[in-house]
Amino acid sequence: MNLVETFSEFKTGKSLDRPTMVRVLEDVFRTLIKKKYGTDENFDVIVNTTNGDLEIWRVREIVFDGEVTDERAQISISEASSIDDEYEIGDECYQQLELEEFGRRAVMAARQTLISRINELEKDEVFKQYTSRIGDIVLGEVHQILKREILVLDDVTGNELILPRNEMIRGDFFRKGDMVKGVIKRVDMKNNNPVVVVSRTDSQFLEKLMEQEVPEIEDGLITIKKIERIPGERAKVAVESYDDRIDPVGACVGMKGSRIHGIVRELKNENIDIVNFTNNNILFIQRSLTPAKVTSIKLDDEKGTASVFLKPDQVSLAIGKGGTNIKLASRLTGYEIDVYRDTDDEIDDVELDEFSDEIEDWIIDEFKNIGCDTARSVLNLSKEELTRRTDLEDETVEGVLKILAAEFTDAEEKKEDK
């Protein structure tokens, strides 16, 4: 049994830095020495930082035979001469100790202590390393797919990362061996083990992807002021440039969308709206409702609400599929946005699609199937005719007629009020 064989696994492959490893090894062996000799004051523990070998030396002052008063600090000349015949009185005697002298049990106990100490330090090191990287993008290989999470191996360090299902974008599908990208969201300690949680739905993921694709953001010429996302569906990003010569929206989108396309693919075709940030709240709300074109806006700063008026053909654009556009615009601007049809002008007709926020799409499709794609084309037919020609119930047709008729009634009333 020797130092190299017994502790060989600690020489390489550990993530700890050399000074830390040396300190741990010295500490463990000094504890071993104290248990056998009662003190470590007269011992040197030397760790070779190149190959990891360890040496233990006992150092004692050489005195005349019969004058040893402290065996821990002194050695007789006759005993010293048996170690090296060139020793003289007054010299320091260096005696190298072998592990066998400590006994097998003590050595194995020291080995277990060393394993435990190094494992604890490695856990602390992983915790510190990833805590300092929260918000950074990490790339890893899918190692194991579980019911509630996916285990990913960091492509750089080999450490295990966790991608929970609720941090995945709708439409994400990974197989073992696939490479997956995400942002380090947090680092938890569970049962004294660091757990690194990765997210693909966090707004920081989109922010970091944009930093990678847009050099002006990384250089600080363009700042991302705020991001709001409905992961996998839509995102709105407010950007600002500190250089008047740089168009922040154009720079983020890139020539023919070259910069944004890669991000959209990574986010499973998430629709990303880039808007110019401004402290002018009315203008900011107008921009945030893109792609809809706003006619006018009335703010109530006390209530934190905004009444937005649009042409009828712009209403559905402002609301967006499932209300995603208006929801994100509200979150981006901090105002609760209510959308109204602008009826300053007499309404000749309105496309049925503009009523998608009040009438379900499948019902609208039923009317389109019989050639009715505008409000007036539906109103021009009787309830009986509409029921006969579609597969809709009487009550459903009656409800639709009321909604469509109210559109023109409201317009007429507002016109008369003026």
**The predicted structure's pLDDT at residue 183:** 97
Long-range contacts of 392-399 (CB under 8 A, 24+ apart): 392/363, 392/366, 396/363
Which residue from 77, 74, 200 is spatially nearest to 137, judged by alpha carbons?
A: 200
Characterize the bridge pairing of strands 137-145 and 179-190: antiparallel
**The predicted structure's pLDDT at residue 6:** 46
In SS3 terms, the chain reads as CCHHHHCHHHCCCCCCCHHHHHHHHHHHHHHHHHHHHCCCCCEEEEECCCCCCEEEEEEEEEECCCCCCCCCCEEEHHHHHHHCCCCCCCCEEEEEECHHHHCHHHHHHHHHHHHHHHHHHHHHHHHHHHHCCCCCEEEEEEEEECCCEEEEEECCCCCEEEEEHHHCCCCCCCCCCCEEEEEEEEEEEECCEEEEEEECCCHHHHHHHHHHHCHHHHCCCEEEEEEEEECCCEEEEEEEECCCCCCHHHHHHCHHHHHHHHHHHHCCCCEEEEEECCCCHHHHHHHHCCCCCEEEEEEECCCCEEEEEECHHHHHHHHCHHHHHHHHHHHHHCCEEEEEECCCCCCCCCEHHHHCCCCCHHHHHHHHHCCCCEHHHHHCCCHHHHHHHCCCCHHHHHHHHHHHHHHHHHHHHHHHHC
**The predicted structure's pLDDT at residue 165:** 94
**The predicted structure's pLDDT at residue 385:** 81
Instruction: For the chain, give the mean pLDDT.
Output: 86
pTM for the whole thing? 0.64
pLDDT < 70 positions in the chain: 1-18, 49-52, 343-348, 410-418
**The predicted structure's pLDDT at residue 16:** 61
How many CA atoms, within 13 angstroms, populate the side-chain half-sphere of residue 277? Answer: 17
**The predicted structure's pLDDT at residue 10:** 54
CA-to-CA separations, 190 to 113, 195, 197, 244, in angstroms, rounded:
22, 7, 12, 49
**The predicted structure's pLDDT at residue 375:** 87
Dist. CA 317–CA 361, nearest whole Å: 15
Instruction: Name residue, tokens 């299902």.
Output: 165
| Cβ proximity of 285 and 266 under 8 Å | no
Which tens digit of pLDDT belongs to each residue from 211-228? 999 999 999 999 999 999
